[in-house]
Amino acid sequence: MSPPRLCLGFGFSIWLCLAATAQVPRSELDVHHPASRSSSANGPVDMKSDHFFHSVLENDRVRVFKVEIPASQSSGIDQHRHDYIVVSLGKNDFEIAGGGMTFPMQMDNGEMQVLKGGALHRITNRSDQMLRLLELEVLREVHPEQPVCGLGGRRCTDGRFGHSDTGTYTQSTLFETDTVKLARVELGPESLLPEHRHQRCHVLLALADVSLRDETGTDQEREFHLKTGQAEWYSQALVHSLKNLDKQDVQFITVEFK
């Protein structure tokens, strides 16, 4: 499994793409004009009104959208009012235009970027295949410029991994700020992620189709199945383990909200 990649954007006026603990090669951010469609909107549209954005989850902590834009087409003029995280579902080639600037973006499957909210922007698919992204708008902000770890700060060191008769797993914190903690989990075929604790509410996001058995410390268990881009919300702190029910590797991310 390839290592995760993360980039950090500080708004359209100064867009910086920083390596997170040497995990991300610096992107080329040359400015050029997008091949965008015309829009009848005079201002930003709510994401729910843009037919390329599909609501996955919404509560008082986060809004999650799955973005699907056909080849060579563009979204409307959208705006995230809060900091947000972009996750690539598959290999994607697109550009984001806003504030008089245009920025090309090439993202591999599972690669993530953290972007500051507030800027008007339009997404244009530059490839000949469907663009698929997840966007997580964090309603209490991400504060990426002040990381606890990752995002150009000190290395996150609380990862864990294992190889035993229960299979193989890795659980890696990619970054943490004063408001969120994002981790990536990889499970081998029919493997178990051992019992672990989440201190607060969190969301699990599938990077591909997954089937999991969730077991809590109270001898309760349940199974759930997520398609690519779907989410499972946990409303409170808990101790649990997760077992991959598939006969193939699976990957997903968790975002814990403070």
Q: Where in the chain are the domains?
A: 6-37+46-138, 160-257
Contact 251, 183 (CB under 8 A): no
In CATH terms, are 6-37+46-138 and 160-257 the same topology?
yes
Nearby residues of 85 by Cβ (< 8 Å), 6 or more positions away: 112, 113, 114, 115, 135, 136, 138, 142, 182, 255
User: Which CATH architecture describes the domain 160-257?
Assistant: Sandwich (2.60)
What pLDDT is attached to residue 6? 62
Q: Rounded to an integer, what is the distance from CA 12 to the centroid of its chain?
A: 19
What pLDDT is attached to residue 15? 37
Terminal Cα-to-Cα distance of the chain (whole angstroms) = 29
**Per residue in 35-50, pLDDT tens?**
333 344 456 777 888 9
Weakly modelled stretches of the chain, pLDDT under 50: 1-4, 9-41
Nearby residues of 208 by Cβ (< 8 Å), 6 or more positions away: 228, 250, 251
Model pTM score:
0.84
What pLDDT is attached to residue 31? 26
What pLDDT is attached to residue 57? 98
- Fold designation for 6-37+46-138: Jelly Rolls (2.60.120)
* 85, HSE (Cβ side, Cα atoms, 13 Å): 31
What pLDDT is attached to residue 39? 40
What pLDDT is attached to residue 44? 74
What pLDDT is attached to residue 19? 29
Nearby residues of 78 by Cβ (< 8 Å), 6 or more positions away: 44, 45, 47, 50, 53, 120, 121, 122, 123
At 49, is the secondary structure helix, strand, or coil? helix
